[in-house]
A and B are shown apart, each in its own frame.
Chain A
Amino acid sequence: MSEKRLYGLAAIFDTPEKVVAAARAVAGRGFTKYDSYSSYPIHGIDSAMRLKRTRIPFVTLVAGLSGAVLLVLFTWWTNSVDFPLVIGGKPYFAWPDYVPLMFEMTVLFGAVSTVIALLVVWLNLPRNSHPLHDTEFMKKVSKDRFGICIESDDPRFNEIETRRFFEDLGAESVDSIYDEPVDISLRQKVLDPKFIAAIVVVAVVSSATTYLALNKMLLIRPWSSLNAQFKVNPESRSTFYSDRFGMRPPVTGTVARGHLPDPITVSDNIAAAEKYLVNPLLPTPHVMQVGQRDFNTYCSPCHGYFADGNSRLQGQFPSPPSLHTDSLRLAPDGLYYNVITNGFQGVMPSYARQIPRKERWAIVWYIRALQKAQNPNGPEAK
């Protein structure tokens, strides 16, 4: 135990009028480190104590506004940039949707920060006790008395003079409050077998209850109402549709988002496709990069990185022809597209499932670039 230190002098007054007058006198003397105590708010005590306005509303305002701003940034980034999702046919940045969330976040950030700021300021965290706790003074002011406590840290504090000052103000009693650091040793209690047993029992009981409630109880009527909805589950039968399929196929002619329909269906009419299909993409840097990436991934194992047939798998498979022959250089884009899509003569497989249509056309552009790099003055150059 360390030595007792004088925390301050606490005076008790019996009427609110007296405590207001005393607070005015204490403030008039120039004391700064003091507080008044009462079990209910007293009109006029704020001005008598010459209290400055608290800064906590400022914390609330800043935290509330930052909550709103963070919400906008978060929703904008997740919904509009990182993973654009169309919800309800609205634009990616559908700001009216965000307003209720902004409101919620303003309230949440404002409220939580206010509470934290209050705790930090008022309880003087991380301190976890106060010298006035458990004193006769505190018991009296929480019942039917009013009090003022001047701290000994105050520059104008002098134990004898301040005591006399309080008595002149008409204090009922003046107590000396001592700051006693409390030695808190928990070890003995923590290792008590009864305590450990209690903890284990609580853990088992609460886990079992949670498990039973969430995994068993919720599956029994009437709590299982969410399970037994009048709806068709995925891959289940439906009595509503004549074909008994619960999952409905898309309407004929449905075009998937980002899907590029061919003007001529390649598998239907190969000759026409090869002749008339036109590359719908422009050879932008991005298209060339995609073409290069896909070519190196899917084509180069057999065709080689330069489309000359010199590849990693040479000898293990029938060697494909070089793409730098005159006839292939002059062949239409549709031929390449068709071969990627449908394969070639049973030797090269179809890549329709691996490579989306747009990327096939990007590969065609990359093959053209490879051809031109090998034969800058070839017949197709014109």
Chain B
Amino acid sequence: MSRSEQIDASKLKGVPTSYSSVGWSLLIIGVVLMLVAFAINVRHASFSLIMTLTYVATIGTGALFWVGTEYVSSAVWSTALRRPFEFMAGVIPFLFILVFPLLFNLHTIFTWTHKSLFATDPTMLVRAPYLNVPFFIIRTILVIGVWCLFYFLIIRNSKLQDTTRDQRLTKRNVNLSAGFMPVFAITLTLFTVDWLMSLAPNWTSTVFAVYVFAGAALGAMAFGTLLIVKLNEKNRFPVKLTPDHYYNLGAFLFAFINFWAYIAFSQFMLQWYGNLKDETAWYIPRMHGSWAVVSIVLVLGEFLIPFFMLVSRAAKFNPRRLVFVSVWLLVAHAIDIYWLTMPEYNSSGAVFGLGEIAFLFLSAGIVLAVFAWKAKKNNMVPIGDPKLERGLEFHL
């Protein structure tokens, strides 16, 4: 079959209008709620905005990671599925807008900005050259800037290929993606250390960035699977995907559920076993009171239940199951970020207020609205990619 027969040109651009309208309404409600939350309690709302920032950043960079992985590994099967991930990565430039109000609020969010801590605590004194406001702002802008740079370069080459069909662009993107991988590891580490780990400035965990990365890759894969399977089942995807494509998406979800659990448990067990004051101080609030309930919900929600939902071979072929698990995992990813962030706001018990609702609305709104917007402007399938035909004929 030739390429023109495989692709339904009428479906190349755009997604159902409901994506855009739902996305924008969620986004507007989220912004309004967030503004109200800021009017009520600046500290609480700032934490909610950090959660939103983390959620959007993990989905966006996770998607860019999957795009890069596809190039670096020269994967063929996923060529037709790459564009949805490129659209999802489109949220990366908007991180600047999300981070902007926070940069003016650092003193209300981070305890390490309080100079009195540095005077009394020797461990904080050691961290002073790294944890200070000017360097923090420089790092944040640098990290998001680097992400934007790679996003624009990789996506530009990919889009250019739609018209020029130049095979050298693939080669160029392979090199770019290979460069992006180590850069992504370093920048994500900086981002997570700055925005999540420094909420508890005395606590350290060397595996923390890997933990957040596992959640990012899982969240991005869940969102991508949700969109791809939904569009294909509604017959809105410009090419016909086979159940084998579904299987691979499900297998990736399953793999990253396990990877997330592995990293989460490694971090927990080493710190629990070491039983050092500075390390366990982070886990103690999360293991008592209502936070313990959140922890158990997280273990069930991001590992045990989806594990058994996806473990069988038939489940990974089943589009309804994949859609359900994807939505489930996106919610679990939100709980994960809530669990990482909010115990530092209130260690005595779980909090749920306007800020958390705003976080959910805003995060879902941003990722969905940006996806719909990008899908409207660009082709849903990389029609110029030399790997596309073989990718469509993929069999397990």
Chain A contact residues, CB within 8 Å of chain B: 43-44, 53, 57, 61, 88-90, 96-97, 99-100
Given A89-B275, A97-B273 in contact, is the A57-B313 Cβ separation under 8 Å?
yes
A43, B313: Cβ atoms closer than 8 Å: no
Is B130 among interface residues, defined by CB-CB distance under 8 A? no
Chain A residues, CB < 8 A from B265: 96, 99
Q: Given A43-B395, A53-B313, A61-B311 in contact, is the A88-B269 Cβ separation under 8 Å?
A: no
Give chain B's interface residues, CB within 8 Å of chain A.
265, 268-269, 272-273, 275, 311-314, 395
Distance from A60 Cβ to chain B, minimum over Cβ atoms (Å): 10
Give min CB distance, A303 to chain B, whole Å: 51
B248 CB, min distance to chain A CBs, angstroms: 16
Closest CB in chain B relative to A271 CB, distance in Å: 47
Offer 14 A-B interface pairs, CB within 8 angstroms, sorted by A. Answer: A43-B395, A44-B395, A53-B313, A53-B314, A57-B312, A61-B311, A89-B275, A90-B273, A96-B265, A96-B269, A96-B273, A97-B269, A97-B273, A100-B269
On chain B, the residues within 8 Å of A57 by CB distance are 312-313
Which residues of A are found within 8 Å of B268, using beta-carbon distances? 96
B286 → chain A closest CB, angstroms: 14
Q: Which residue of B lies closest to A61 (CB)?
A: B311
B contact face: mostly helix, strand, loop, or mixed: helix
Q: Kindly state the separation between the CA atoms of A100 and B269 in the bound complex, as whole angstroms.
A: 10
Q: Are A99 and B269 in contact (CB under 8 A)?
A: yes
How many angstroms from the CA of A122 to the CA of B268 in the assembled complex? 43
Which B-chain residue is minimally distant from A89 (CB atoms)?
Answer: B275
Q: Please, which residues of chain B bring their CB within 8 A of the CB of A97? A: 269, 273
**Cβ of A100: which chain B residues have Cβ within 8 Å of it?**
269
Residues of B within 8 A of A90 (CB): 273
List the A residue with the shortest CB-CB distance to B270. Answer: A96
Chain A residue at minimum C-beta to C-beta distance from B266: A100
Let me know if A96 and B272 touch, CB within 8 A: yes
Report the separation of the CA atoms of residues A43 and B265 in the bound assembly, to the nearest whole angstrom.
39
CA distance A44 to B312 in the complex (A): 21
Q: How far is the CA of A44 from the CA of B268 in the complex (A)?
A: 45
- Inter-chain CA distance A44–B272, complex, in Å, is 50
CB distance from B243 to the nearest CB of A (A): 12
- Interface contact B395-A88, CB-CB below 8 Å: no
> Known: A43-B395, A96-B268, A99-B265. Contact between A88 and B273, CB under 8 A?
yes
Bound: A43/B393 CA distance, A: 12
Give the shortest distance, in Å, between A44 (CB) and chain B (any CB): 8
A-B residue pairs, 8 tightest by C-beta: A96-B269, A43-B395, A96-B272, A99-B265, A88-B273, A89-B275, A99-B269, A96-B268
For B311, list chain A residues within 8 Å (CB). 61
